[in-house]
Amino acid sequence: MAITVKERIKRHEGKRNRPYTDSEGILTVGYGRNLEAVPFTDHELDVMFDTDFKRAELAARSFPQYPRLSPVRRGVLVEMCFQMGYGGVKKFRRFLDAIDRSKWDSAADEMLDSKWAEQTPGRANKLARIFKDG
């Protein structure tokens, strides 16, 4: 049985799940996609976003505090996980402790007392207000 052109290209290119620099020094991913010359389509970006969003939702749900949060506060936790990942949010120990005590003002203050808030102040301030108001 003959191999298809598509299968042959896949075999020759090899699959890489993470970006790498190819033999010509070009940033590449997947089955040889040149990230410098081939832009993503809107559909591809939407698929990636949906995957990343689902990953962030799962991360947020893994916090024991999640079930006790209002839907609005859950959304903030999801967004934090989207931006920083589970490991990043897990470092917000005082924030999580304030949630355990239902101290929403303190939790919002802890969000702002962070390197994250220094790096992305606009987003952090908006999310802290949303979290505080619940």
Domain segments of the chain: what residues? 5-34, 42-133
1: pLDDT strictly greater than 90: no
Question: Looking at domain 42-133, which of 2.40.50.140, 1.10.357.10, 1.10.530.40, 1.10.3290.10 is its CATH number?
Answer: 1.10.530.40
Contact status, residue 79 vs residue 124, Cβ threshold 8 Å: no
d(CA 118, CA 55): 25
Q: 26 is written with which tokens?
A: 């070009």
* pLDDT tens string 19-47: 999 999 999 999 999 999 999 999 999 99
Please name the helix (run of DSSP H) or strand (run of DSSP E) that holds residue 119, with its range, or none: helix 115-119
* Parallel, antiparallel or unpaired: strands 27-30 and 33-34: antiparallel
What is the value of pTM for the model shown?
Answer: 0.89
Q: What is the mean pLDDT of the chain?
A: 97
Kindly report the number of other CB atoms within 10 A of residue 37's CB atom: 8
